């Protein structure tokens, strides 16, 4: 079978996902189009150069609705003969875009793709597209729906993670992200966001809080305790699903959960001929991809079974992986991953993660593959695995191998 | 026979009066609905009629749909049920549209409802379809939609109309909890429009003056928005997210009607009104076709009422109690005195010390004061009720009592003594009842000079709240005594079951094994959290450990010791006692000592399960699955019920089912233990018993009766449905 290679990885800095965030003034369309232009320019893509633009995006309403991918192609300098596909697999949308592109390349359906995603969380609020799983009783009640924060707290309760462990991981994420910026480790990927006049709007990740201490985090109140214990009482729903639990430990808060931010990411994926045709050197091979459905109530445990699956599918073992990116949706998700595979914490999220830098839903999957690749190159290691937990109980993973 | 009569007057008002012959309360039958529809057609097409008033010829408006009809409807299958509901929807929708032009919304005839009193179920759904609801200022009247209490939900448009009228959040207590309100509160909540002295007069006045715009419901107007937001409106979204969670949490996910109701509201909120009614009909059909609703209606309505009306009462003239003597003014005696006095019966409350007798009477005073503070009673009523209770130490005061209820300590010697003392005074034909939960009636009857007039009446605690009364026939108890006891229970408005004399009678015979099984699981190393949740997730109101905390652990110890003495080597519960006795030794006697299987705060509030339990009974690494725990907890009760029936202690499965739900809260969604076995099917039940008995002991062995039924493919209700005896 044909190999699929990563030729480029680019991302915007992440802006605070609030009305006072730096990127709040930028439309989802403009952010997408300008990043597509950067990929085009960085790689000299002229004409009908790629088969498709696959764009992950979760909240597909209003300006992110109506197949934003196609609008972004048309708003960019890309050729109009390049179509666009908006896809949604919640938090793994950006990864799914990359995987879909890679697998089509491997199958011979097109030689090159741009794949990535965008989420302007300050402009199109999370959840504003509705969700049957949360409100339609035929699924919400029968599947014991609880919000993600409750799910993360269930993981902590079930697998015995304390508030202190979660906070420690959050502090570590902040420290690593700060070091990464100090040392310019994101330099290759970052494409500053500029306005229509070429003036810079944002050139750094602005959500992070370097120097955050355990004491700072200790002041934060658990974010999901009230909705769990009082109104509307999701803990009771959780206990229907997990009758061995006496209570849910609410350990998560804003500091040890992923940040709400604006941002976009894109990768250029293609086969060997694609690289030759455009004079590009492949950076890594996409060795394997996987996705899996898991228990929707605890919801966020997907990284463990999907990692088991991707390793089994590709005939690898956990020891074959040099570095990991496990999306920091909530501290407990990463703690559970490290606990399950007993991996060295030094190999996981080397440059921090979403707790420090933020999690622009539709883009994160592509961002972490790019971050993984940059770090493999920096450390001169070979194989990396990226994985994310996904709403409604799913998991996705990608294994890349430098070439 | 007609249920509805229409009179048109000179002013052009057609007054339709609902007055079902031969019933004290109106209920709607299919024939009645067709009659009403024909009258509405007549009035709408009659040029002379300007407006329509619908009222009742009785003191109340209506009690609801005839549940017997609902129970029968499903015989025709889903299509027939659905068609029947849609016919009702069309009739009510016709009233709501009242002949108006659907485009201009003009030209309709005003229709008002005039409610003299209580309006429940379809008795409120019909008024909700009219244009204005007038209720009499009658604080005793109850207005609401109680369908959810018998396992269905408002299926005559009430779910859609109320949720659109009030919004999902405000409608929730009425739809999901079956909340009933008096007219004033119903008006405040938006259920009805006006509370007046003369609702018919006010309704007539209104229909004669109503304008076109007064007849148009909000949901028939352009731009209608659901109060609080529909499910995909930002505020509505949060409401609906919370609704699923709250209903799940409160019902432990076991009531299909609650889920279906919520689905009807959710789906109905997103489509035009007429489509929403069709959605409601589909979910209502779905619930009606669910065996749980059949079983709940049968036990909680049809059979409960049949038992209350004397289904098992021996033929005898009315034996209503005029004066009752209550021996022992403790917790039980005081409670029995209260419910008797409330029922208008003269009460002599006797205790050994005047102080104790007075304290028993004070109990009634406390309950009445509480009722007054909640505006449920008045000072006059309190004085009247307390005036009926004579608290004394003097047995001579028992003269003229036609019933004695003895409620002294569970000690045969003391009971024998008071029996003799009372019988020396009371009339020759008086009936003597003993309130005991454990002692055999036939033994206690030995102290009586008139054992054929001696009977057991087992009240549950607290007497004023618990609806079940277990009447126990001793070997010599006469039908006359049974009739007397049943008439007494009817007077105090409780539900009776009549059983024969055997250890623990019926209710306790089943409750004790349930508690014991819970404790046994703990002794085996099963997580107590799992035990409690497993029970609650089967619909038991309390887990076995919480239940024993409430009833008290030392009582458990006492019963265990007595049972062990009685049974000797055959006693099967040694490993249970190990735990129970140890708990008692630790001074953990349950809620009353603020320490039991649960931990309690200083305020007496129950906290989590006591963690000291795990130190003594470590949890095994290999926990059983949920279903196994649930089967053990359910079968241990259910099989005891079957044995009680097989042995003739229980004579009627209807009593077995109704008694189980009212007596100890046996998973109401099942309709009771016999109904639950029917739902499972005897063959499957035997299969489970065989597995459980192989793994966990003989107490799970399938009774022969169940095996026979598995063999023949019969169900309990096929074979023993309408009171047919086991023998």
State how far residue A137 is from chain B, nearest Cα, in angstroms. Answer: 6
Q: Which residues of B159-192 are buried (b: 16+ CB within 10 A; e: fewer)?
A: bbbbbbbbbbbbbbebbbebbbbbbbbbbebebb
Residue-level pLDDT at A397 = 98
**Where are the CATH 3.90.226.10 domain residues in chain B?**
4-289
Ranges of CATH 3.40.50.720 domains, chain B: 323-501
**CATH class of the B323-501 domain in this structure:** alpha beta
pLDDT of B562 above 90 = no
B268 contacts in chain A (CB < 8 Å): none
Q: The tokens 């609905």 sit on which residue?
A: B33
CB A73 within 8 A of CB A52: no
Nearest chain B CA: its distance from A159 CA (Å): 15
Structure tokens at B199: 């609702």
Neighbours of A357 (CB within 10 A): 31
Residue A343: which of A295, A285, A304 has the closest Cα? A304
CB atoms within 10 A of CB B31: 13
**B175 min Cα distance to partner chain A (Å):** 15
Whether the complex's predicted ipTM surpasses the cut of 0.90:
yes
**Of the candidates B342, B332, B330, the residue with the CA atom closest to the CA atom of residue B386:** B342
Look up B711 and say whether it is catalytic. Answer: no
| Exposure of B41 in the CB half-sphere (CA atoms within 13 A) | 8
User: Which residues of chain A have a CB within 8 Å of the CB of B248?
Assistant: 141, 144, 236-237, 240
Residue B350 confidence (pLDDT): 97
Q: Is A359 a catalytic residue?
A: yes
Residues of chain A predicted below pLDDT 50: none
B438-461 pLDDT tens trace: 889 999 999 999 999 999 999 999
Instruction: Give the pLDDT confidence score for residue A184 in this predicted structure.
Output: 98
Active-site entry in A91, A250, A252, A278: A91
- B516, containing H or E segment: helix B507-523
B230: closest chain A residue by CA: A135
Q: Which residues of B touch A146 (CB under 8 A)?
A: 245
**Partners of residue A128 in chain B, C-beta under 8 Å:** 234
- Token couple for A195: 């306005």
Does the domain at residues B503-727 carry the CATH identifier 3.40.50.720? Answer: no
Numbered ranges of CATH 1.10.1040.50 in chain B: 503-727
Percentage of chain B modeled with pLDDT above 90: 91
Which residues face B111 on adjacent strands?
B52
Contact A101, A269 (CB under 8 A): yes
Q: Does A149 or B725 have the greater pLDDT score?
A: A149
The predicted model gives B301-314 an average pLDDT of 95
| Closest CA–CA distance from residue B168 to any residue of chain A (Å) | 12
Per-residue burial over B258-293, b if 16 or more Cβ lie within 10 Å, else e, is bbbbbbbbbbbbeeebeebbebbbbbbbbbbbbbbb
Cβ pairs A/B, distance under 8 A:
87
How many CA atoms are closer than 13 Å to the CA of A270, on its beta-carbon side? 26
Given the residues B35, B96, B406, B470, the one annotated as active site: B470
Contact B511, B459 (CB under 8 A): no
* pLDDT at B1 (0 to 100): 64
The structure's pTM equals: 0.93
What is residue B604's three-state secondary structure? coil
Chain B nearest CA to A157, separation (Å): 14
Those of residues 223-252 in A touching chain B at CB distance below 8 A are: 231-234, 236-237, 239-240, 243-247
In A118-192, which residue ranges form alpha helices assigned H by DSSP? 132-135, 137-140, 148-159, 163-182
Which residue numbers of B have CB closer than 8 Å to A's CBs? Answer: 231-232, 234, 237, 240-250, 252-253, 259, 262-263, 266-267, 527, 529-530, 533-534, 537, 608-609, 623, 626
Write down the pLDDT at residue B71.
76
State how beta strands B346-350 and B389-392 pair: parallel
Nearest CA in chain B to A228: B245
- Mind listing the pLDDT tens digit for each residue in B381-432? 999 999 999 999 999 999 999 999 999 998 899 999 999 999 999 999 999 9
Distance between CA atoms of residues B56 and B52, nearest Å:
13
Q: Residue B63: helix, strand or coil by DSSP?
A: coil
Q: Which of A141, A231, A247 sits opposite B244 (nearest CB)?
A: A141
How many distinct helices (H) and strands (E) make up chain A? 15, 12
pLDDT at B437 over 90: no
Measured in degrees and rounded to the nearest 5, phi and psi for residue B499 equal -130, 165
Asked whether the beta carbons of B692 and B506 are under 8 A apart, the reply is: no
CB contact under 8 A, B244 and A137: yes
Q: What was the pLDDT predicted at B70?
A: 81
- DSSP assignment of B262-279 equals HHHHHHHTTS-HHHHHHH
DSSP B132: E
Check B500, B508, B516, B594 and give the catalytic one: B508
Map tokens 């735990």 to a residue. Answer: B579
A135/B263 CB distance under 8 A: no
Which phi and psi angles does A263 have, rounded to 5°? Answer: 175, 170
Contact A283, A7 (CB under 8 A): yes
Cβ atoms within 10 Å, residue B569: 5
CB contact under 8 A, B242 and A232: yes
**Locate tokens 């003036």: which residue?**
A199
- Quote the pLDDT of residue A2: 93
Q: How far is CA B426 from CA A323, A358, B399, B479, B534, in A?
A: 92, 85, 5, 20, 51
Q: What's the rounded Cα separation, in Å, for the pair B259 and B251?
A: 9
Q: Decide if B181 contacts B144 (C-beta within 8 A).
A: yes
β-strand pairing of B389-392 with B403-406: unpaired
CA–CA min distance B8, chain A (Å): 47
Backbone angles phi, psi at A246, to 5 degrees: -85, -35
For B505-548, the pLDDT digits (tens) are 999 999 999 999 999 999 999 999 999 999 999 999 999 999 99
Cα distances from B320 to residues B416, B467, B528, in angstroms, run 26, 19, 48
Residue B727 has pLDDT above 60, yes or no: no
Q: What is the pLDDT of residues A186-211, one digit of tens each?
A: 999 999 999 999 999 999 999 999 99
- CA A191 distance to own-chain centroid: 17
pLDDT at A331: 98
Q: Domain B4-289 is in which class?
A: alpha beta
Q: Verify whether the Cβ–Cβ distance A137 to B262 is below 8 Å.
A: yes
Q: How much is the average pLDDT of B314-325? A: 95
CA angle A104, A108, A109 (to 5 degrees): 55
DSSP tag of B711: H
Active site residue A278: no
pLDDT average, residue stretch B636-653: 97
Contact B303, B497 (CB under 8 A): no
Instruction: Give Dmax (Cα) for chain B.
Output: 87
**Gyration radius from chain A CA atoms:** 20
B29: Cβ–Cβ under 8 A, 6 or more apart, which residues? B3, B66, B69
At B177 the three-state DSSP class reads coil
B529:A244 CB<8 A: yes
Contact B533 A239 (CB under 8 A): yes
Query: Which A-chain residues 122-151 have CB contacts (< 8 A) with chain B?
Result: 127-128, 130, 134-138, 140-142, 144-147
> Residue B356 belongs to what H/E stretch?
helix B354-373
CB B257 within 8 A of CB B46: no
Sort out which chain B residues have CB atoms less than 8 A from A143's CB and list them. none
Contacts of B234 in chain A (CB under 8 A): 128
DSSP string, B536-600: HHTT-SS-HHHHHHHH-HHHHHHHHHHHHHHHGGG---HHHHHHHHHHHHTT--BGGGTBSSEEE
Question: Is the pLDDT at B130 greater than 70, yes or no?
Answer: yes
Contact (CB<8Å) A142/B259? yes
């Amino acid at each position: 079978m044909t190999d699929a290679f990563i030729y480029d990885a680019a991302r915007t800095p992440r802006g605070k996902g609030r009305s006072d965030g730096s990127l709040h003034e930028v439309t989802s369309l403009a952010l997408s189009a300008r990043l597509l232009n950067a990929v085009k320019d960085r790689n000299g893509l002229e004409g009908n150069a790629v088969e498709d633009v696959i764009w992950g995006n979760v909240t597909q309403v209003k300006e992110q609705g109506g197949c934003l991918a196609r609008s972004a192609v048309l708003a960019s300098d890309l050729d109009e003969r390049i179509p666009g596909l908006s896809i949604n697999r919640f938090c793994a949308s950006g990864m799914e875009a990359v995987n879909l592109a890679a697998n089509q390349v491997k199958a011979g359906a097109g030689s090159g793709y741009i794949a990535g995603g965008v989420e302007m969380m300050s402009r199109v609020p999370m959840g504003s597209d509705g969700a049957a799983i949360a409100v339609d009783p035929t699924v919400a009640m029968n599947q014991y729906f609880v919000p993600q924060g409750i799910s993360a707290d269930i993981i902590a309760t079930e697998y015995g993670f304390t508030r202190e462990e979660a906070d420690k991981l959050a502090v570590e994420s902040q420290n690593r992200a700060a070091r990464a910026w100090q040392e310019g480790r994101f330099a290759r990927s970052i494409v500053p966001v500029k306005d229509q006049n070429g003036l810079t709007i944002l050139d750094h990740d602005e959500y992070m809080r370097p120097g955050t201490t355990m004491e700072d985090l200790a002041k934060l109140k658990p974010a999901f305790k009230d909705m769990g214990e009082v109104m509307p009482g999701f803990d009771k729903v959780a206990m229907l699903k997990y009758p061995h639990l006496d209570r849910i430990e609410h350990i998560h808060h804003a500091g040890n959960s992923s940040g709400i931010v604006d941002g976009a990411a894109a990768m250029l994926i293609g086969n060997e001929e694609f690289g030759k045709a455009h004079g590009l050197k492949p950076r890594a091979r996409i060795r394997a991809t996987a996705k899996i459905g898991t228990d929707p109530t605890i919801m966020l445990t997907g990284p463990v079974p999907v990692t088991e699956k991707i390793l089994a599918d590709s005939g690898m073992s956990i020891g074959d992986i040099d570095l990991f990116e496990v999306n920091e949706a909530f501290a407990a998700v990463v703690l559970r991953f490290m606990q399950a595979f007993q991996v060295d914490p030094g190999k996981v999220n080397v440059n921090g993660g979403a707790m420090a830098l933020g999690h622009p839903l539709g883009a994160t999957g592509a961002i972490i593959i790019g971050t993984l690749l940059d770090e493999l190159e920096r450390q001169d290691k070979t194989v990396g695995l990226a994985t994310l937990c996904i709403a409604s109980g799913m998991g996705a993973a990608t294994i890349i191998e430098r070439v | 026979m007609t249920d509805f009569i229409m009179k048109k007057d000179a002013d052009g008002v057609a007054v339709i009066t609902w007055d079902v012959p031969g019933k004290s309360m109106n209920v709607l039958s299919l024939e009645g609905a067709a009659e009403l529809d024909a009258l509405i057609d007549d009035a709408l097409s009659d040029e002379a009629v300007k407006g329509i008033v619908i009222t009742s010829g009785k003191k109340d408006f209506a009690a609801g749909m005839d549940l017997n009809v609902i129970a029968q409807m499903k015989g025709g299958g889903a299509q027939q049920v659905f068609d029947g509901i849609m016919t009702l929807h069309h009739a009510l929708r016709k009233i709501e549209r009242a002949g108006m032009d659907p485009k201009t919304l003009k030209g309709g005839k005003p229709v008002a409802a005039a409610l003299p009193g209580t309006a429940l179920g379809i008795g409120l759904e019909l008024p909700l379809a009219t244009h204005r609801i007038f209720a009499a200022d009658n604080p005793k009247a109850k207005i609401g939609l109680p369908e959810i209490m018998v396992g269905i939900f408002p299926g005559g448009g009430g779910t859609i109309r109320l949720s659109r009228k009030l919004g999902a959040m405000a409608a929730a207590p009425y739809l999901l909890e079956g909340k009933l309100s008096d007219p004033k509160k119903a008006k405040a909540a938006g259920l009805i429009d006006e509370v007046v002295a003369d609702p018919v007069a006010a309704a007539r006045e209104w229909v004669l003056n109503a304008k076109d715009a007064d007849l148009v419901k909000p949901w028939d107007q352009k731009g209608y928005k659901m109060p609080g937001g529909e499910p995909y409106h930002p505020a509505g979204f949060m409401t609906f997210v919370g609704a699923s969670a709250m209903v799940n949490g409160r019902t432990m996910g076991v009531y299909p009607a609650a889920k279906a109701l919520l689905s009807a509201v959710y789906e109905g909120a997103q489509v035009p009104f007429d489509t929403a009614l069709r959605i409601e009909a589909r979910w209502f059909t779905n619930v009606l076709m669910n065996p749980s609703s059949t079983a709940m209606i049968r036990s909680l309505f049809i059979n409960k009422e049949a038992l209350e009306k004397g289904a098992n009462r021996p033929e005898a003239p009315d034996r209503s109690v005029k004066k009752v003597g209550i021996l022992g003014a403790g917790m039980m005696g005081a409670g029995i005195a209260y419910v008797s006095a409330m029922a208008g019966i003269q009460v002599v409350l006797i205790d050994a010390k005047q102080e104790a007798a007075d304290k028993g009477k004070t109990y009634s005073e406390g309950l009445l004061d509480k009722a007054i503070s909640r505006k449920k009673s008045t000072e006059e009523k309190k004085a009247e009720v307390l005036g009926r209770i004579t608290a004394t130490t003097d047995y001579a005061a028992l003269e003229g009592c036609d019933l004695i209820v003895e409620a002294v300590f569970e000690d045969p010697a003391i009971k024998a003594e008071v029996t003799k003392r009372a019988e020396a005074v009371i009339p020759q034909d008086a009936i003597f009842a003993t309130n005991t939960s454990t002692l055999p009636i036939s033994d206690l009857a030995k102290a009586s000079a008139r054992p054929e007039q001696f009977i057991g009446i087992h009240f549950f605690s607290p007497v004023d709240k618990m609806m079940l009364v277990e009447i126990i026939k001793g070997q010599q108890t006469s039908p006359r005594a049974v009739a007397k006891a049943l008439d007494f229970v009817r007077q105090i408005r409780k539900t009776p079951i009549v059983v024969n004399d055997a250890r623990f009678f019926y209710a306790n015979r089943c409750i004790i094994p349930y508690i014991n099984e819970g404790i046994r699981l703990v002794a085996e190393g099963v997580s107590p959290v799992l035990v409690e949740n497993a029970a609650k997730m089967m619909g038991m109101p309390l887990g076995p450990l919480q239940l024993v905390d409430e009833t008290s652990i030392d009582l458990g110890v006492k019963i265990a010791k007595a049972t062990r003495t009685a049974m000797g080597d055959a006693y099967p519960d040694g490993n249970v006692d190990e735990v129970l006795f140890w708990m008692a030794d630790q001074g953990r006697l349950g809620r009353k000592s603020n320490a039991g299987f649960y931990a309690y705060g200083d305020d007496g509030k129950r906290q989590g399960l006591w963690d000291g339990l795990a130190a003594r009974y470590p949890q095994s690494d290999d926990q059983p699955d949920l279903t196994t725990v649930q089967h053990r907890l359910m079968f241990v009760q259910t099989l005891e019920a079957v044995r009680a029936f097989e042995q003739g202690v229980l004579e009627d499965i209807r009593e077995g089912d109704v008694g189980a739900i009212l007596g100890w809260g046996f998973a109401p969604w099942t309709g009771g233990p016999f109904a639950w076995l029917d739902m499972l099917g005897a063959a499957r039940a035997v299969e489970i018993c065989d597995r459980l008995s192989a793994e966990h002991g003989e107490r799970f062995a399938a009774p022969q009766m169940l095996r026979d039924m598995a063999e023949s493919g019969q169900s309990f209700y096929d074979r023993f449905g309408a009171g047919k005896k086991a023998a």
